[in-house]
Amino acid sequence: MDKVGHGLYTIASYEKIKRVTIPLDNENLLFMSMDNTQKHGKHKSYGHGRTWVK
């Protein structure tokens, strides 16, 4: 760990989902899975400051 430091977060992208893992402390992780399907519009959105409301 000394060469690269402690992990801050990971983002893994699969065909159907994205997974985000964030260590909260020495014993706990925040683990999120998100749907990878396009909701609106013609362009891919990776969540850059956009909020989709129906």
pLDDT at 22 over 90: yes
Region 25-43 average pLDDT = 80
> Per the domain annotation, does 1 fall within a domain?
yes
> Per the domain annotation, does 51 fall within a domain?
no
Q: How many domains does the chain have?
A: 1
pLDDT at 30 over 90: yes
Query: Which residues constitute the domain of residue 32?
Result: 1-36
> Per the domain annotation, does 46 fall within a domain?
no
pLDDT at 14 over 70: yes
> Per the domain annotation, does 41 fall within a domain?
no
> Per the domain annotation, does 31 fall within a domain?
yes
pLDDT score of 32: 92
> Per the domain annotation, does 18 fall within a domain?
yes
pTM of the shown model:
0.58
> Per the domain annotation, does 43 fall within a domain?
no
* pLDDT band, very low/low/confident/very high, at 12 (cuts 50, 70, 90): very high
Show contacts of 43-46: CB within 8 Å, 24+ apart: none
Q: Are 29 and 22 in contact (CB under 8 A)?
A: yes
> Per the domain annotation, does 14 fall within a domain?
yes
